[in-house]
Amino acid sequence: MSTRDVPLLEIEDLRIRVRNTPGAEILRGVSLRLWPGETLAVVGESGCGKSMTSLAVMGLLPEGLERTAGTVRLTGTPVPIGDNRAMRRIRAARIGMVFQEPMAALDPLFPVGRQVLEVLNEHQRLGRRAAWARVIELLGLVDLPDPERIARSYPHRLSGGQLQRVVIAMAIACSPEVLIADEPTTALDVTVQAQIIRLLKKLQRRTGVGIVLITHNLGLVAHSADRVMVMYAGRKVEEADTYSLFTAPRHPYTRGLLDATPNPERQATGGRLLNEIPGIVPSITDPMPGCRFAPRCVRRTEACRARVPDFTVVAGHGVACFDPVPRPGEVAA
Amino acid sequence: MTASPPRIPLSFVGKRLLYGMMTVFAIAVINFFLLQLAPGDAAEALAGEAGTASPEYIAELRAQFGLDQPLMLQLWAFVSRLFTLDLGYSFRYGADVADLIFARLPATLLLMTTSVVFAVIGGIVLGVTAARFANRLPDRLISFTGLLFYATPPFWIGLMMILVFSVWFGWVPTSGMENVLAFNTGWARAVDIGHHLILPALTQAFFYLAIYIRLVRAGMLDVLSLEFIRVARAKGISEARIGYRHALRSAVMPLVTVVGTNVGGFLGGAVLTETVFSWPGVGRLMFDAMFQRDLNLLLSILILSSVFVVVTNFVVDILYVLINPTVELK
B219 in the same domain as B146: yes
Q: Is the confidence at residue A1, as pLDDT, over 50? A: no
Structurally, how many domains does chain B consist of? 2
Shortest CA distance to B94 belongs to which of B281, B296, B305? B296
Contacts of A102 in chain B (CB under 8 A): none
- Average the pLDDT over B137-148 and give the result: 91
Shortest CA distance to B204 belongs to which of B160, B248, B158, B237? B158
Is pLDDT larger for residue B175 or for residue A295? A295
> What is the predicted pLDDT for the residue at B192?
86
Is pLDDT larger for residue B190 or for residue A236? A236
Is pLDDT larger for residue B38 or for residue A158? A158
Shortest CA distance to A237 belongs to which of A279, A184, A299, A194? A299
Contacts of B2 in chain A (CB under 8 A): 111, 114, 152
* Cβ separation B236–A109 shorter than 8 A: no
The alpha carbon of residue A193 is apart from the nearest alpha carbon of chain B, in Å, by 20
B91 in the same domain as B207: no
B303 in the same domain as B165: yes
> Is residue B4 one of the residues assigned to a domain?
no
- Scored b (16 or more CB within 10 A) or e, B95-132 reads eebeebbeebeebbebbbebbbebbbebbbebbbbbbb
Mean of per-residue pLDDT scores for chain B: 85
Q: Is the confidence at residue A164, as pLDDT, over 90? A: yes
* Cβ separation B325–A106 shorter than 8 A: no
Evaluate whether A238 touches A312 at the Cβ level (below 8 Å): no
Contacts of A128 in chain B (CB under 8 A): 1
Query: Which residue from B minimizes the CA distance to A115?
Result: B232
Of B4, B238, B326, the CB nearest to A108: B326
* Cβ separation A104–B226 shorter than 8 A: yes
> Is residue B112 one of the residues assigned to a domain?
yes
- Average the pLDDT over A55-79 and give the result: 92
Q: Is the confidence at residue B1, as pLDDT, over 50? A: no
Shortest CA distance to A196 belongs to which of A168, A226, A222? A168
Q: What is the distance of C-alpha B202 from the center of its chain? A: 14
Shortest CA distance to A168 belongs to which of A141, A134, A128, A137? A141
* Cβ separation B227–A104 shorter than 8 A: yes
From the candidates B2, B7, B231, B249, which should be mutated to test the interface with A, based on the most A CB atoms within 10 A? B231
Bridge partner residues of A312 (DSSP): A319
Contacts of A106 in chain B (CB under 8 A): 228, 231
- Average the pLDDT over B96-103 and give the result: 88
Of A152, A156, A167, the CB nearest to B3: A152
Q: Is the confidence at residue B290, as pLDDT, over 80? A: yes
Q: Is the confidence at residue A72, as pLDDT, over 50? A: yes
B129 in the same domain as B233: yes
Q: Is the confidence at residue A5, as pLDDT, over 50? A: yes
From the candidates B225, B228, B328, which should be mutated to test the interface with A, based on the most A CB atoms within 10 A? B228
* Cβ separation A122–B236 shorter than 8 A: yes
Cα torsion at A192, A194, A197, A201 (round to 10°)?
A: -130
Shortest CA distance to A68 belongs to which of A22, A33, A10, A9? A22
Q: How many CB pairs under 8 A join A and B?
A: 77
Query: How far is CA A240 from each of CA A33, A49, A249, A312, rounded to the nearest angstrom?
Result: 12, 19, 9, 12
| pLDDT band for position B130 (cuts 50, 70, 90) | very high
Look at residues B64, B96, B128 and tell me which one is the last residue of a structural domain: B96
> Is residue B293 one of the residues assigned to a domain?
yes
> What domain range is B64 assigned to?
10-96
* Cβ separation B236–A92 shorter than 8 A: yes
- For chain B, say whether A94 makes contact (Cβ under 8 Å): no
> What is the predicted pLDDT for the residue at A210?
95
Amino acid letter at B201? Answer: A
Cα end-to-end span (Å), chain A: 40
B151 in the same domain as B39: no
Q: By mean pLDDT, which of A51-60, A65-74, B2-11, B185-194 is the weakest? A: B2-11
* Cβ separation A114–B246 shorter than 8 A: no
Is pLDDT larger for residue B241 or for residue B53? B241
Amino acid letter at A9? Answer: L
B222 in the same domain as B109: yes
Look at residues B57, B81, B96 and tell me which one is the last residue of a structural domain: B96
> What is the predicted pLDDT for the residue at A212?
96
> Is residue B62 one of the residues assigned to a domain?
yes
Query: Which residue from B minimizes the CA distance to A121?
Result: B237
- Average the pLDDT over B89-106 and give the result: 86
Shortest CA distance to A59 belongs to which of B135, B226, B236? B236
Contacts of B236 in chain A (CB under 8 A): 87-93, 119, 122-123
| pLDDT band for position B134 (cuts 50, 70, 90) | confident
Of B233, B239, B326, the CB nearest to A156: B326
Look at residues B47, B72, B96 and tell me which one is the last residue of a structural domain: B96
> What is the predicted pLDDT for the residue at B261?
82
Evaluate whether A192 touches A202 at the Cβ level (below 8 Å): no
Q: Is the dihedral of CA A15, A19, A23, A26 positive or negative?
A: negative
| pLDDT band for position A4 (cuts 50, 70, 90) | low
From the candidates B225, B227, B233, B235, which should be mutated to test the interface with A, based on the most A CB atoms within 10 A? B235
The answer to whether ipTM exceeds 0.90 is: no
Evaluate whether A180 touches A125 at the Cβ level (below 8 Å): no
> What is the predicted pLDDT for the residue at A42?
95
> What is the predicted pLDDT for the residue at B5?
57
Query: Which residue from B minimizes the CA distance to A157?
Result: B326
B178 in the same domain as B280: yes
Q: Is the confidence at residue B186, as pLDDT, over 70? A: yes
| pLDDT band for position B326 (cuts 50, 70, 90) | confident
- For chain B, say whether A140 makes contact (Cβ under 8 Å): no
Read off the pTM.
Answer: 0.82
> What is the predicted pLDDT for the residue at B2?
47
B114 in the same domain as B86: no
Query: Which residue from B minimizes the CA distance to A57?
Result: B234
* Cβ separation A92–B250 shorter than 8 A: no
Distance CA A217, CA A282 (A): 22
For strand A39-43 and strand A210-215, is the pairing parallel, antiparallel, or unpaired?
Answer: parallel
Neighbours of B42 (CB within 10 A): 22
Evaluate whether A79 touches A73 at the Cβ level (below 8 Å): yes
Distance CA A12, CA A72 (A): 6
**A 171-210 near B (Cβ less than 8 A):** none
Amino acid letter at B239? Answer: E
Q: What CATH number is associated with residue B178? A: 1.10.3720.10
- For chain B, say whether A226 makes contact (Cβ under 8 Å): no
B303 in the same domain as B240: yes
* Cβ separation B236–A88 shorter than 8 A: yes
Q: Is B91 exposed, middle or buried (0-12, 13-18, 19+ CB in 10 A)?
A: buried
CA triplet B88, B94, B100: central angle to 5 degrees? 60
Q: Is the confidence at residue B40, as pLDDT, over 90? A: no
B101: Cβ contacts below 8 Å, ≥ 6 apart: B87, B282, B285, B297, B300, B301, B304
For A319, what's the count of Cα atoms within 13 Å in the CB-facing half-sphere?
21
- Scored b (16 or more CB within 10 A) or e, B186-223 reads eeeeeebbeebbbbbbbbbbbbbbbbbbbbbbebbbeb
B271 in the same domain as B288: yes
* Cβ separation A89–B323 shorter than 8 A: no
- Average the pLDDT over B4-11 and give the result: 70
- pLDDT tens digit sequence for A106-148: 999 999 999 999 999 999 988 899 999 999 999 999 999 999 9
B148 in the same domain as B44: no
Q: Is the dihedral of CA B144, B147, B149, B152 positive or negative?
A: negative
Q: List the alpha helices (DSSP H) in chain A.
A: 50-57, 84-87, 102-105, 112-123, 128-141, 147-152, 160-172, 190-207, 218-224, 242-247, 252-259, 264-268, 302-306
> Is residue B209 one of the residues assigned to a domain?
yes
From the candidates A54, A109, A175, which should be mutated to test the interface with B, based on the most B CB atoms within 10 A? A109
Query: How far is CA A195 from each of CA A142, A221, A224, B1, rounded to the nearest angstrom?
Result: 10, 14, 12, 29
> Is residue B164 one of the residues assigned to a domain?
yes
> What is the predicted pLDDT for the residue at A22?
84
Count the helices and strands in chain A (H runs, E runs). 13, 12
Helix (H, G, I), strand (E, B) or coil at A46: coil
Q: What is the distance of C-alpha B59 from the center of its chain? A: 38
B175 in the same domain as B144: yes
* Cβ separation B234–A58 shorter than 8 A: yes
> Is residue B289 one of the residues assigned to a domain?
yes
> Is residue B174 one of the residues assigned to a domain?
yes
